[in-house]
Amino acid sequence: MTTPLPRTFFQKDTCSAARSLLGKRLVRILDGSRISGLIVEAEAYNGEEDLACHARVGKTRRNAVMYGSPGHAYVYFTYGMHWMLNAVTREEGFPAAVLLRAIHPLEGLDLIASNRPGRPSAEWCNGPAKLTQAMAINGELNGCDLCNPHSPLFLESGLTIPENSILTSPRIGLGNTPEPWLSKPWRYYVSKNEVLIAAKAR
DNA sequence: AGCACGATTAACT
DNA sequence: GTTAATCGTGCTC
């Protein structure tokens, strides 16, 4: 299947988008071969009002992509060494995105292994900066269209995750963010059992 | 100055 | 086997 998710998929409420991105397949084309995996963890960041969102300070050069068309990749650098991958949501002009925090790798395992040298396979993609490292995602992919099958990075349909296998929690790593944003249950992840089922997918 | 983190330690069961 | 604490790193504002 190389039919990407339609742009309308992203043009909706960010929390719904984060939830429905679970089980979808993230595909990276690297030197003509595919690396892919199923999304198992994601967080919603929603607008200038959300004080955990990068857009809380208004539009800057860094976060400009979030203000643009939905279905595009917002890739940014942090902590002096880590790249983060987000999918832009909502209508054009509204700054919101879903941070992709973890995937279950399915294709291109040899490439992932070479991008994550010396790491056990369980730790290849189980964190937001780990998955970007595993898939060789960096700032060059900022603004990339995730709805275009010719992009080096896009999203495909995957596995349907049953509603009762989706868990939520507050978002990770928010530091000084004030309430109520600190405690908003906008992190969505797939239960461990369901990940094992995903592991059997091809 | 302040990070939407990860690797490495060091202390525990 | 686990959790808690620490700090490197360099880009954005």
**Would you call A4 helix, strand, or coil by DSSP?**
strand
A58 Cβ nearer than 7 Å to chain B strand:
no
Closest residue to C8 (CA to C1') is A80
Q: Terminus-to-terminus CA distance in chain A, angstroms?
A: 11
Measured from Cα to the C1' atom, the residue closest to C7 is A79
**A57 CA: nearest nucleotide by C1':** C13
Q: Which nucleotide lies nearest residue A52, CA to C1'? A: B4
| A139-197 pLDDT per residue, tens | 999 999 999 999 999 999 998 999 888 999 999 988 888 889 998 999 999 987 666 66
Torsion (CA) A56, A57, A63, A68 in degrees, nearest 10: 70
Q: Which nucleotides of B are covered by protein (CB under 7 A)?
A: 2-7
- What is the pTM (predicted TM-score) of this model? 0.92
For the segment A15-47, what is each residue's pLDDT rounded down to a tens digit? 999 999 999 999 999 999 999 999 999 999 999
Find the DSSP H helices in A101-187: 109-115, 128-134
Is the pLDDT assigned to residue A200 strictly greater than 70?
A: no
Q: How far apart are CA A31 and CA A19, in angstroms?
A: 31
Write out residues whose CB is closer than 7 A to strand C: A 57, 60-63, 76-81
pLDDT band at residue A52 using 50, 70 and 90 as cut-offs: very high
Bases of strand C lying below 7 A from some protein CB:
8-13
